[in-house]
Structure 1
Amino acid sequence: MKLETDEAMRLSSSNAEAESADAFLQRLQRLVQIAGSANALAKRSGISQSGIQRYLKGGEPTRKMLITLAECTGVSLVWLMTGKGNEVERQAPQVKDDDVYAYVPLYDARCSAGSGAWNERSRVLVELSFTRYSLRKKGLTPSDLACLRVDGDSMTGLLEDGDTVMIDLSRNALEGEGVYVVMLDDHLYAKRLQRDFDGSVRVISHNKEYQPIIVPRDRLAELHIIGRVVWAGGWMV
């Protein structure tokens, strides 16, 4: 990638005046097509949706963002930056687009009782593969999924420190008792949610050493549900 980056920068400088903005935007649209949608491209690259939309409206990505976009879609960086050469120089995207596996991004934001945050600075660490059949059997859409890691012992016995959870981002409203990833007071948590008769919501830890947090009905707008936890995995040793 280092040689390709240097070559892209050299060609980009020599062709800067000749390259039209429209041609570059067409290549960005091609990345959206490869990913399946602008939302899917944002999830795959770890770039915020607002950032992707800004680029699609003519904003200029930094070199770091261009490298990220090229790597996550499998296109040639030289082609993306300059329009020169072949669009694809490696075969990885063909594997990612196969009919057997779907690839769910694992973000570096951690579910914690501290300073974790789900924000534009989150980046994709790796993509975890799941069979499309297993996701379809559970009624899950790959583009709606994301993975995070659990931090701390508040859910021990159910979710351990360092476990990975998959969340369905489309299920971002309380639809019944279950484990959700939520943002509350600028902190990110994986907790069990339970609605009380008075309309308030209990944010419950599995570890009984932690007392439930009660979110009154008039403060429910402050409880931001990121998504429902639909899968969890971790080491047994």
Structure 2
Amino acid sequence: MVEYKDRLVQAMTAAEMKTADLADRLGLSYQAIKKVVDGNTKALTAENSARAAQLLNVSSDWLALGEGTMSRSNMVMPYSDLSPAPIPGRPTIAVPVLSNSASMGSGAELLEHDVLTGDLKLSQEWVTQRVKPSHVQALRFIHAYGDSMKGTFNDGDILLVDTGIRLVDIDGVYVLCAHDRLFVKRVRQRWDGQFEISSDNPSIKTSDLLDGREQLDVRGRVLWAWNGQKL
């Protein structure tokens, strides 16, 4: 008889997802998943099993009960139809909303330990397939104020930030901390290797180069502006 652990391993192998990766995506410890894979725990909880099936792109009934076929290809929502809004009956992710804002703020660790004002629930399928964060626990919502990024997002827009990104790994829009303030700026790497910080608003002619002397910390990369623009 094929046990739950065998189906889970089969699904993970097909999805080329390691134990640590699945644990991270589910917000569980590595040991929690390993105990299931090793057969020391009978199965994931019903909720986590459904979320795992979604992440591994297999049928939730097949994973949980061994019923039907492994494939859920006929149930996959087309990429273009994915929406951040929670889908009834499908897993969601609650993302904390911080009282902090950029380009205003105060001091270190703002995005990790700032006061929370609640959370917004997002479709897990949308988060994992569309914005693809470093890990879902690192996601935060902040408000942006000012007009330096006008055209990309506007004064008062809510920004979805991946606080797990602490280095400029690709060109994009980042939350930066400098001089005890938070800024949201576009960062590009030039051909000479230097990083250029700029604003998207063409009427604001600000551009700075980082040469290693600045006291500047990357606090996250903006993944989505809540006006429907992926960044």
SS at match of 2:94: strand
Match of 2:167 in 1: 173
Q: CA deviation at 1:130?
A: 0.5
C-alpha contact 1:199 1:216 (8 A) present in aligned 2? no
Does residue 137 of structure 2 align to residue 146 of structure 1?
no
Measured in 1, the distance between the counterparts of 2:113 and 2:187 equals: 27
Measured in 1, the distance between the counterparts of 2:175 and 2:200 equals: 14
C-alpha contact 1:202 1:215 (8 A) present in aligned 2? yes
Structure 1: which amino acid aligns with 2:212? Answer: D
C-alpha contact 1:110 1:116 (8 A) present in aligned 2? no
Match of 1:228 in 2: 221
Q: CA deviation at 1:206?
A: 1.0
SS at match of 1:130: strand
Partner deviation per Cα, 1:8-56 (whole Å, 9 max, x = no partner): xxxxxxxxxxxxxxxxxxxxxxxxxxx857xxxxxxxxxxxxxxxxxxx
Q: CA deviation at 1:99?
A: 5.6
Q: CA deviation at 1:115?
A: 4.5
Measured in 2, the distance between the counterparts of 1:137 and 1:216 equals: 33
C-alpha contact 1:103 1:142 (8 A) present in aligned 2? no
Match of 2:86 in 1: none
Match of 1:156 in 2: 150
Structure 1: which amino acid aligns with 2:96? Answer: P
Match of 1:105 in 2: 96
Q: CA deviation at 1:121?
A: 6.3
Q: CA deviation at 1:161?
A: 0.7
Q: CA deviation at 1:154?
A: 0.8
Partner deviation per Cα, 1:132-177 (whole Å, 9 max, x = no partner): 1111113233212111100111111111111000111222211121
Match of 2:193 in 1: 199
Higher fraction of helix:
1
SS at match of 2:159: strand
Q: CA deviation at 1:210?
A: 2.2
Give the aligned length: 139
Percent identity over the alignment? 25
Structure 1: which amino acid aligns with 2:181? Answer: H
Structure 2: which amino acid aligns with 1:152? Answer: G
Measured in 1, the distance between the counterparts of 2:124 and 2:195 equals: 34
Structure 1: which amino acid aligns with 2:94? Answer: Y
**5 Å matches for 1:112-123?**
112=103, 114-117=104-107, 119=110, 122-123=114-115
Match of 2:74 in 1: none
Q: CA deviation at 1:185?
A: 2.0
Q: CA deviation at 1:116?
A: 5.0
Match of 1:88 in 2: none
Structure 1: which amino acid aligns with 2:127? Answer: L
Measured in 2, the distance between the counterparts of 1:116 and 1:211 equals: 25
Normalised by the size of structure 2, how large is the TM-score? 0.54
Q: CA deviation at 1:211?
A: 2.6
Measured in 1, the distance between the counterparts of 2:180 and 2:199 equals: 18
Match of 2:209 in 1: 215
**5 Å matches for 1:21-40?**
none
Measured in 2, the distance between the counterparts of 1:232 and 1:216 equals: 25
RMSD: 2.5
Equivalent position to 2:121, from 129, 147, 163: 129
Measured in 2, the distance between the counterparts of 1:224 and 1:205 equals: 18
Normalised by the size of structure 1, how large is the TM-score? 0.52
SS at match of 2:140: strand
C-alpha contact 1:199 1:217 (8 A) present in aligned 2? no
